[in-house]
Structure 1
Amino acid sequence: TALVSRVFNEHEPAINRDGILEIKNGRHPLLLLKRRDSSDVIPLNLSIGKGFNTLVITGPNAGGKTVALKTVGLLALMASCGLHIPADADSEIPIFKDIFAHVGDKQSIEMDLSTFSAHLDGIKTILEKASSGSLVLIDEIGTGTDPQEGAAIAMSVMEALNARGAVTLVTTHQGAIKAFAHETPGIANGSMAFDSQTLTPTYRFRPDLPGSSYALEIAGRMGLPEAILKRARALIGSQANRLDGLILSIEQQIEENRQLERELRAAKSVVDRLKSEYEEKNARLVQEAKKFRRKAAEEASAIMMQANAAVEKAVRTIREKGAAKEAILEAKRLIEEEKDAVRKELEATQAGQAVQKDEVEGQIRPGDRVFWRQVGTAGTVLSNTDPDGLLVVFGDLKVHVPEAELGRMKEVGKSLPDRVPGIEVSVPVRAQEEVDIRGMRVEEALSVVDKFLDDALLAGLKEVRIIHGVGTGALRRGLTPFLNRHPVVQAIRSGGLQGENPGVTIVEITGG
């Protein structure tokens, strides 16, 4: 038995108690013995028991209907005997308590049985004994008598067996039975495929689709006179011709779809290979980008320390020398020199754009948190009106950055520290203690206030006043969160001795 299983590629099927019969690439055992090479035997793929228990198989003469019926019966019998079956290992077969097969012509002169009488005798035995858990196989059901009456008997028998829950497979050529199978719950159509181009059967089973008998086409191939065939078509009637034509058209469409499926499968294989290659290359590029980003971050950190030192020196110089004009100019010169050095250093350390996972789409506005991809730094936008780029604060200092190099970040989950990749400082010759922004747009006002606060810090002022008025409250609503985030602001409060003036905001300067 083991040797036979290896020779004929047999497997142990999955046994189930749900009445589901699913044969995958099953082959008739006798055909395997006759042809030896399993590739010469067209495999059968057939399923029954999921949604329907009765299957009507149609198709041309000599198209494989009876062989399919016998293959199902033999494989079910082999499984019941504990044998391996010539089908794939994931095939499923229930253990049937009875297997009834009525296949072939049982007419007998000795028994005084005509073809139809023998046919009815076999069906009578099946109806007496078949029940749930039985497998019933009937070849050419309803044959041997008047087609209309034979079809009616066949439909009644199928209806009874289906109601009992028996797994039933029948073959037929009668169109009425095909229509009955299509309209009756628990009964389904299936057919053996036929090549309409070569007028030869393919011996492949197709689920859900009824098949034509192709009697006229086969008769033409066998040499019957065309005049006879033409008259036969006229006698059949236009409706039957249209039905056969529809079935033929569907079969051609199915074959085209199969060809398209094969082409798509081949194309998918190419796409999958290219995708795999792309993913490998992308993974390498991601690793290289991470290395560049770490290097850029380290260099930006060094630049930040250098810039901070320059600013602290400038502020210390201003305070020690009493904010004299010469001291302010000297501090401004030192900062400008340092700013040029920082910019040159940044240009040398740009190593591609790193992408921050917290970036979101949308227009960047003042007050937004942003990520500078070139350096891997997070900051806050102060204004977007300068032609040199957006003014962004990183830690204690600011830099103009092109908008294309920035990504807008989510409001929550920010984890990157504000690192300073460059500075933007203007040292005033004379600082004012108040600024009036009434009548300005919010973005314009924030830019003016930002410059005003920088001047106040460098001038050593402790407290300044911002006049924004009451109006609609838009300026104040935009100004308050901006001041709360500003690095030089220590505290804010409303104007007046008791804070009774909402049109003025008093700002305390850090380190003033």
Structure 2
Amino acid sequence: MNQKALHVLEYGKIIERLTEHATSEPGKRLCRELVPSSDIKEIRKNQEKTKDAISRIFKKGSTNFGDNKDFQGILKALKIGSALDMAALLKLAAFLDNVNRVKTYGRPQRDDEERDSLSESFEMLEPLTFVSAEIRRCIISEDEMSSDASPALKHIRRGMMLTNDRIHEQLGKIINGSMRTYLQDTVVTMRGDRYCIPVRAEYKSQINGIVHDQSSSGSTLFIEPQAIVELNNKLREMILQETAEIEKILAELSLKVAEHVDSIKYNADIMTDLDFVFAKASYALEINAITPVFNEQHAFDIKKGRHPLIDKDKVVPIDVYAGRDFDMLIITGPNTGGKTVTLKTVGLLTLMGQAGLAIPAGDRSELSVFTEVYADIGDEQSIEQSLSTFSSHMTNCVSILEKADENSLCLFDELGAGTDPTEGAALAISILNDLHERKIRTMATTHYSELKVYALNTPGIKNASCEFDVESLKPTYKLLIGIPGKSNAFAISSKLGLPDRIIEAAKEQIGTEDKKFEDLLADLEKSRKTIESESLEIAQYKKEVEELKTQLEEKTYKLDKQRDEIIRKANEEARDILQEAKDVADETIRTFRKAGPDATMQDLERARTSVGQKISDKNKSISKKVEKPKETHPILKESQLKLGETVKIVSMGLKGTISSKPDKDGYLFVQCGIMRTKANIRDLVLVQDEDGKAAMKKFYGRNTSSSGGKMDLSRSANIRTEINLIGKNSDDALAALDKYLDDAYMSHLNNVRVVHGKGAGILRQAVHQYLKGVPYVKSFKLGEFGEGDAGVTIVTFIK
């Protein structure tokens, strides 16, 4: 990738920020050396690694590679047999401990955890814990060897300690004995590596020993007493032995480490690569980046793309695409409107993606691979080279036209600017046309209206504009593809206070065609905003409809579930009741059989009373199962309840009509559809349903004398939608019809068919006369063709 594009697009600043996320110097070096690749296999592999590192950070947090150093010099010394010092060995031990931590971090948390692109790297790490443990055992710090490093060293240091004790014992006797008056001070000092005492110069002859030093004034001599000379010599020998033993231990340790030079180098390479990958992942999380999809069609589709060097709280995301339906994008709009930022965003995100970095954009953003990215952006006037802005831009353009091919991405900012507008526009069109004919993906910004017309009239080229709010005189930084930008010079000038006469005079200087074109752009902009506003409203309506649909589906599901549960419980209770009734009947039969033919009336009465008592006990137990409802609603009084009144059973959530008066405990029967339910007055609330009350009052007004408001559940469950009266005389037919209509209405059928045949019409007249007097019959009529004609009457009930 050419260095000019990397510089212009500020790729170096991205690398600087990436480098800050590496935790080891070798990792930072890899970051600094990162350049975009043009090999799509390599790019996809690097992107996959970055993506997997991001995933691992999300799951486990980050890890540190700080003990990974540049071991090239150390490893080279080990290869040639040199012994390492304690500091170098400790660095290796710290590194191997770091390798162990990273390997542990990379282990899967579950046995069924899927492998990713980094699994092999973690598995290939070899911590060599026995090597680092041996180094730690022998070496305490960079300048201290442990006495346990070897038996010989331990023996030498024990001897040194004993000798030191003897020296201090002898010196103690001297400075605290008769010679104390000869001393300048009662202390023991060291001169070189020899123990001495400070003696006044005038008493030199009184102390037998070797003078090693004197004070600056000459008044004090530092003498090694003859009594400890031999001990000091012995201590000196032991110090030399200690040094030799330490060198021997270091040589042996270095020899052990040298056996694993290749493994250490391999570990260092893997750790450096992992540090590099996790630095990319950490930077991706900082800028809220995603892994882009790559294609080989030289097409890009960046959704909600953000320039990574702009403050994330201020940057405005853009949607920009090119390369499929068109290969060239010409962006127009006012200054500071975001045209240059758009160019830089596309160029920089392309470079980042090809370097294996995640990009700050929305999901499913797409990039392609370009062998080169060329950019002519910014004011490149050069005083040193005596080049004007136009000359400098033309120099860049010439270079780009020479080198670019169909695998390149070209970015031009203010193409053709810096010279006469007519000539500049003509040059810009010629340059763009040459690139278009060579199928080179290109983005260019411009102010020239001629380029807008060129884009409108040329297949494969699209206009785009950066939106500008004339009212607030501020750009929105929103990129609109397919719409050329309107020049807002007059509107902006008017808002800033330029007199209308000057603006009108300026408009007269513009040609008719230019005026029409600008007016067309204004109309397009107005239409776009209207459509955009309506689209937002439609999207909001769709969202609300979806929410309502979801709520309705949930409600329907809950109601169906409640209904099924109620039916299931009712069936279970009915089954239990039938079973108990059968048991009582069987027991009753057995009792009467046992009584025999000689049984007295008193025996039979006792048996009957026993059966009655069991039935009564069962009714009480059933009544007790109904829990008292929580008093979260006004409690009704008995005077408020009337037969046929519509009520709701709170605990069951069911509506029904009252079919009996409350008993002394407040229990009454409520007709819920085809079910007759016993409920307590405390569990009821009134429902204002006048139609329902009227219908039930009519029904109960007619039937209270017959069956007490009760219904035959077995009969209503098997009711048919028609009755056949053919062959019956009028009295039998009307009796059967009366019973059938009661059952049909109580089963909530809407209408039924009465088959009476044609004949002489006597039975039909009797049926019709009877139907006129039934209060819950809404209407009746003879059947149509195909329904039975005059031989059938269709009866419709009141709902």
**TM interval, short-chain normalised:** 0.5 to 0.7
Matched, 1:401 2:794: yes
Equivalent position amino acid for 2:406 in 1: S
* Deviation string, structure 1 residues 11-51 (Cα, Å, up to 9, x no partner): 111111122211111111111xxx2xx24211111111121
Which residue does the alignment assign to 1:15? 294
Pick one of 512, 529, 539 that aligns with 1:265: 539
Matched, 1:45 2:319: yes
Shift of 1:221: 4.5
Matched, 1:136 2:415: no
Question: Following the alignment from structure 2 to structure 1, what is the Cα–Cα distance between the partners of residues 426 and 797?
Answer: 78
CA contact (8 A) 1:14 1:92 kept: yes
Question: Following the alignment from structure 2 to structure 1, what is the Cα–Cα distance between the partners of residues 750 and 287?
Answer: 61
Equivalent position amino acid for 1:22 in 2: D
Q: 1:399 to 1:250 in 2, by over 3 A?
A: same
Q: 1:242 to 1:341 in 2, by over 3 A?
A: same
Shift of 1:159: 1.6
Equivalent position amino acid for 1:333 in 2: D
Question: Following the alignment from structure 1 to structure 2, what is the Cα–Cα distance between the partners of residues 402 and 181?
Answer: 75
Equivalent position amino acid for 1:170 in 2: A
The equivalences for 1:464-475 within 5 A come to: none
Q: 1:158 to 1:305 in 2, by over 3 A?
A: closer
Matched, 1:345 2:743: yes
For structure 2, the 5+ residue unaligned runs are 1-279, 568-671, 676-711, 752-778
Which residue does the alignment assign to 1:279? 553
Question: Following the alignment from structure 1 to structure 2, what is the Cα–Cα distance between the partners of residues 61 and 306?
Answer: 84
Which residue does the alignment assign to 1:154? 428
The equivalences for 1:297-336 within 5 A come to: 299=715, 302-303=718-719, 329=729, 332-336=730-734
CA contact (8 A) 1:22 1:92 kept: yes
CA contact (8 A) 1:393 1:399 kept: no
Question: Following the alignment from structure 2 to structure 1, what is the Cα–Cα distance between the partners of residues 494 and 359?
Answer: 39
Pick one of 106, 111, 114 that aligns with 2:388: 114
Pick one of 385, 397, 411 that aligns with 1:123: 397
Q: Look up the SS of the partner of 1:193 in the other structure.
A: strand
Q: Look up the SS of the partner of 1:180 in the other structure.
A: helix
The equivalences for 1:440-459 within 5 A come to: none
Equivalent position amino acid for 2:296 in 1: R
Question: Following the alignment from structure 1 to structure 2, what is the Cα–Cα distance between the partners of residues 249 and 404?
Answer: 63
Which residue does the alignment assign to 2:372? 98
Q: Look up the SS of the partner of 1:251 in the other structure.
A: helix
* Deviation string, structure 1 residues 217-264 (Cα, Å, up to 9, x no partner): 334455555544333222123432333233233323322333333333
Pick one of 169, 174, 181 that aligns with 2:443: 169
Q: 1:286 to 1:216 in 2, by over 3 A?
A: same
Q: 1:400 to 1:116 in 2, by over 3 A?
A: same
Question: Following the alignment from structure 2 to structure 1, what is the Cα–Cα distance between the partners of residues 360 and 306?
Answer: 6
TM-score by length of 1: 0.61
Which protein shows a greater Rg? 2
Question: Following the alignment from structure 1 to structure 2, what is the Cα–Cα distance between the partners of residues 153 and 341?
Answer: 100
Which residue does the alignment assign to 2:352? 78
Question: Following the alignment from structure 2 to structure 1, what is the Cα–Cα distance between the partners of residues 721 and 535?
Answer: 63
The equivalences for 1:157-236 within 5 A come to: 157-222=431-496, 224=498, 226-236=500-510
For structure 1, the 5+ residue unaligned runs are 315-327, 354-385, 406-512
Q: 1:348 to 1:225 in 2, by over 3 A?
A: closer
CA contact (8 A) 2:376 2:411 kept: yes
Q: Look up the SS of the partner of 1:30 in the other structure.
A: coil
Matched, 1:251 2:516: no
Q: 1:175 to 1:343 in 2, by over 3 A?
A: same
CA contact (8 A) 2:352 2:358 kept: yes
CA contact (8 A) 2:780 2:793 kept: no
Question: Following the alignment from structure 2 to structure 1, what is the Cα–Cα distance between the partners of residues 786 and 716?
Answer: 15
Shift of 1:270: 2.5
Shift of 1:128: 0.8
Question: Following the alignment from structure 1 to structure 2, what is the Cα–Cα distance between the partners of residues 118 and 56?
Answer: 21
Equivalent position amino acid for 1:174 in 2: Y
Shift of 1:79: 0.5
Q: 1:288 to 1:391 in 2, by over 3 A?
A: farther
Question: Following the alignment from structure 1 to structure 2, what is the Cα–Cα distance between the partners of residues 22 and 208?
Answer: 15
Which residue does the alignment assign to 1:388? 781
Question: Following the alignment from structure 2 to structure 1, what is the Cα–Cα distance between the partners of residues 339 and 793?
Answer: 81
CA contact (8 A) 2:352 2:359 kept: yes
Which residue does the alignment assign to 1:24? 303
Q: Look up the SS of the partner of 1:86 in the other structure.
A: coil
Question: Following the alignment from structure 1 to structure 2, what is the Cα–Cα distance between the partners of residues 298 and 151?
Answer: 93
Question: Following the alignment from structure 2 to structure 1, what is the Cα–Cα distance between the partners of residues 297 and 429?
Answer: 25
* Deviation string, structure 1 residues 280-322 (Cα, Å, up to 9, x no partner): 44556778999899999974674459968x97xx6xxxxxxxx
The equivalences for 1:355-366 within 5 A come to: none
Q: CA RMSD in A?
A: 3.7
Shift of 1:105: 2.4
Equivalent position amino acid for 2:742 in 1: K
Higher strand fraction: Structure 1 or Structure 2? Answer: 1
Equivalent position amino acid for 1:111 in 2: Q
Q: Look up the SS of the partner of 1:388 in the other structure.
A: strand
Shift of 1:387: 6.2
Equivalent position amino acid for 1:18 in 2: Q
Q: Look up the SS of the partner of 1:29 in the other structure.
A: coil
* Deviation string, structure 1 residues 168-191 (Cα, Å, up to 9, x no partner): 000001111100101101111000
Q: Look up the SS of the partner of 1:141 in the other structure.
A: coil
Equivalent position amino acid for 2:735 in 1: E
CA contact (8 A) 1:299 1:349 kept: no
Higher helix fraction: Structure 1 or Structure 2? Answer: 2
Q: 1:348 to 1:293 in 2, by over 3 A?
A: closer
Q: 1:176 to 1:403 in 2, by over 3 A?
A: farther
Question: Following the alignment from structure 1 to structure 2, what is the Cα–Cα distance between the partners of residues 305 and 158?
Answer: 82
Number of aligned pairs?
350
Which residue does the alignment assign to 2:285? 6
TM-score by length of 2: 0.40
* Deviation string, structure 1 residues 427-472 (Cα, Å, up to 9, x no partner): xxxxxxxxxxxxxxxxxxxxxxxxxxxxxxxxxxxxxxxxxxxxxx
Q: 1:98 to 1:344 in 2, by over 3 A?
A: same
Equivalent position amino acid for 1:388 in 2: K
Question: Following the alignment from structure 1 to structure 2, what is the Cα–Cα distance between the partners of residues 158 and 15?
Answer: 26
Q: 1:183 to 1:334 in 2, by over 3 A?
A: same
* Deviation string, structure 1 residues 180-226 (Cα, Å, up to 9, x no partner): 10110111100000112223211110010000232233344555555
Q: 1:301 to 1:237 in 2, by over 3 A?
A: same
- Report the more deviating stretch, 194-203 or 18-27: 194-203
CA contact (8 A) 1:13 1:90 kept: yes
Q: Look up the SS of the partner of 1:203 in the other structure.
A: strand
Equivalent position amino acid for 1:112 in 2: S
